[in-house]
Amino acid sequence: MDTHGRSGDPLRVLNGEIVGCTRCPRLVAHREAVALAPPRRFRGERYAARPLSGFGDRRARLLLIGLAPAAHGGNRTGRIFTGDRSGDWLFRALWEARFASQAESARADDGLRLRDAYVTAAVRCAPPGNKPTTREMRRCEPYLLRELELLRRVRVVIALGRIAWRAYLRARRLLGRPLPGRAPIFAHGAVVRFADGVTLIGSYHPSQQNTFTGKLTRPMFRRVFTTARRALAGRARRPGADRSDRDRRPAARIGRGAPLRASRPAHPDGLGHAPRHHS
Ligand code: SF4
């Protein structure tokens, strides 16, 4: 069941608000400008050039949070992570883990259905250089907060990149949900279990920058979803692979990635500064 299968429900209302949003002048200008100057391979295509809502199963237990739509991916096709290489990686991994009906995600009308999974982003408009400003993130944040309130069955969250990781932790704080005393540090494969039973898993973003350079490989990405499946089944690895807010040990990781690092004091707003690149 996807979010567009019912009328008049709060998630549908929220998604309608998102796609009509014009709060960020810079991003409105950018999403429309790229539509007017597409690369050769997309010439002649009609771009959606609007904000993107989340996509997937309203009863999802797995939530994936990305950074923002790609200028010539979601901003073109009108569906998040659809029509670009990041989406190719993401939906293949979701399909392999049995969360998606197909491995490809080329167009919004391609019949793709998600099962027990919902995909969203910290920012809903494509930002120049994939770098939203802190002010733009703040403007867009209420949409993520409302999504988190409406997706009541979510038990596992995969943060695709450091910005998504921080955005989710900040959202938890704003929603009054339990957090560790120290902010968990992002790493690929980091696993954090909160006192309310939700598990957060960190993953490098499947951006071309990460996948082309080998920073993120298919096996590494696959293991993230294996961990998510285990967590949904109540079998997340421990000890040493999970971290609860009662347990202040460094967040553990799976697969290849950054070495273990101790947690650091929480940034006052739980977000910090945007990194230069997808991570
Ligand atoms: S980034 Fe978010 S708040 Fe800004 S215009 Fe797009 S949807 Fe609206």
**pLDDT tens-digit readout, 160-206:** 999 999 999 999 999 999 999 999 999 999 999 999 999 999 999 99
Question: According to the model, what pLDDT value does residue 234 have?
Answer: 87
> Measured from the CB, is residue 31 less than 6 Å from ligand 1?
no
> For residue 240, how many other CB atoms are within 10 A of its CB?
11
CA of 221 to the centre of ligand 1 (A): 29
d(CA 51, CA 5): 20
Question: According to the model, what pLDDT value does residue 7 have?
Answer: 60
Helix 85-96 vs helix 218-232: angle between axes, to the nearest 10 degrees?
A: 50
Confidence of residue 278 (pLDDT cuts 50, 70, 90): very low
CA of 145 to the centre of ligand 1 (A): 14
> Measured from the CB, is residue 139 less than 6 Å from ligand 1?
yes
CA-based nearest residue to 70, from 56, 57, 89: 89
> Measured from the CB, is residue 121 less than 6 Å from ligand 1?
no
CA-based nearest residue to 69, from 27, 101, 102, 37: 27
Mutate to test the pocket of ligand 1, among 139, 144, 146 (most ligand atoms within 8 A of CB): 139
CA of 105 to the centre of ligand 1 (A): 23
Among the residue ranges 4-8, 77-81, 137-141, the one predicted with the least confidence is: 4-8
Mutate to test the pocket of ligand 1, among 17, 19, 24 (most ligand atoms within 8 A of CB): 24
CA distances from 250 to 90, 128, 194, 239, 241 (A): 27, 34, 14, 12, 10
> Measured from the CB, is residue 27 less than 6 Å from ligand 1?
yes
CA of 10 to the centre of ligand 1 (A): 19
> Measured from the CB, is residue 200 less than 6 Å from ligand 1?
no
Question: Tokens representing 146?
Answer: 């409302």
Question: According to the model, what pLDDT value does residue 248 have?
Answer: 37
Residues in the chain: 279
Question: In CATH, which superfamily holds the domain spanning 10-232?
Answer: Uracil-DNA glycosylase-like domain (3.40.470.10)
Q: For the segment 50-72, what is each residue's pLDDT rounded down to a tens digit?
A: 999 999 999 999 999 999 999 99
Beta bridge partners of 196: none
Q: For the segment 71-115, what is each residue's pLDDT rounded down to a tens digit?
A: 999 999 999 999 999 999 999 999 999 999 999 999 999 999 999
> Measured from the CB, is residue 123 less than 6 Å from ligand 1?
yes
Question: According to the model, what pLDDT value does residue 3 have?
Answer: 53
Contact at 8 Å (CB) between 274 and 205?
no
Q: For the segment 211-249, what is each residue's pLDDT rounded down to a tens digit?
A: 999 999 999 999 999 999 999 998 655 433 434 433 334
Q: Which atom of ligand 1 is nearest to the CA of 18?
A: 7
CA distances from 96 to 122, 123, 151, 159 (A): 25, 27, 23, 18
Beta-strand (E) ranges in the chain?
55-56, 62-66, 117-121, 156-160, 191-193, 199-203
Whether the bond between 239 and the residue before it is cis, its omega within 30 degrees of 0, is: yes
By three-state DSSP, how is residue 236 classified? coil
More confident residue, 127 or 238: 127
> Measured from the CB, is residue 21 less than 6 Å from ligand 1?
yes
Question: According to the model, what pLDDT value does residue 239 have?
Answer: 35
What is the pTM assigned to this prediction? 0.85
Among the residue ranges 45-49, 93-97, 249-253, the one predicted with the least confidence is: 249-253
Mutate to test the pocket of ligand 1, among 17, 27, 133 (most ligand atoms within 8 A of CB): 27
Reported as half-sphere exposure (CB side, CA atoms, 13 A), residue 204 has a value of 27
Question: Tokens representing 138?
Answer: 């703040």
Confidence of residue 134 (pLDDT cuts 50, 70, 90): very high
CA of 31 to the centre of ligand 1 (A): 11
d(CA 130, CA 3): 26
Going by alpha carbons, the residue nearest to atom 6 of ligand 1 is: 125
Question: According to the model, what pLDDT value does residue 273 have?
Answer: 33
CA-based nearest residue to 25, from 120, 128, 121: 128
> Measured from the CB, is residue 122 less than 6 Å from ligand 1?
no
Going by alpha carbons, the residue nearest to atom 3 of ligand 1 is: 140
Beta bridge partners of 193: 199, 244
Instruction: Using a pLDDT cut of 90, give the percent of the chain over it.
Output: 80
Confidence of residue 251 (pLDDT cuts 50, 70, 90): low
> Measured from the CB, is residue 23 less than 6 Å from ligand 1?
yes
